Amino acid sequence: MYITAFNEEGKEVDISFATQNWRKVVVDKTRTGQFVRKHFEAMVFTALAEELRTGDVAVVGSEEYADWSEQLLDWEVVQETLGSYLMEVGLTEQGESAEFDAQFFRRQLEDKLRGAAAAADVGYPGDT
């Protein structure tokens, strides 16, 4: 499906906000003055998501929606449930009740990530 590359006044739609790669992809090479609709939509929403993420654009009325930070647990609750959570996700063993150590936790996560990466690398490049 295609959409016109011109606005109501007949002027070319400004897509200068997009990267050069996106601009190449959205223009249909076989239909002059046409955008590939799916590519155009993906380009717009990708650019919008990035602008929202960086705070360069805002949604009018968004302050009326829930504040995500209100959904965070209080640190006291985290401390109470952390031991059982770490056991549940396999980062500690039954009976271990040591104080939470952020550096040790980080090393555990890094070790798990290295292990997963090594396992993935074993099959590469033959792994389809």
**Residue 35: strand, helix, or coil:** strand
φ, ψ for residue 89, nearest 5 deg: -90, 5
Predicted TM-score (pTM) of the model is 0.48
What confidence tens digit (pLDDT) does each residue in 68-127 have?
788 889 989 988 888 888 888 877 777 666 666 778 888 888 998 999 999 888 877 776
Domain extents in the chain: 2-57, 72-122
What confidence tens digit (pLDDT) does each residue in 58-69 have?
888 777 777 778
What confidence tens digit (pLDDT) does each residue in 9-50 have?
999 999 999 999 999 999 988 998 999 999 999 999 999 999
* Torsion sign (Cα): 45, 46, 51, 52: positive
Model pLDDT, residue 38: 94
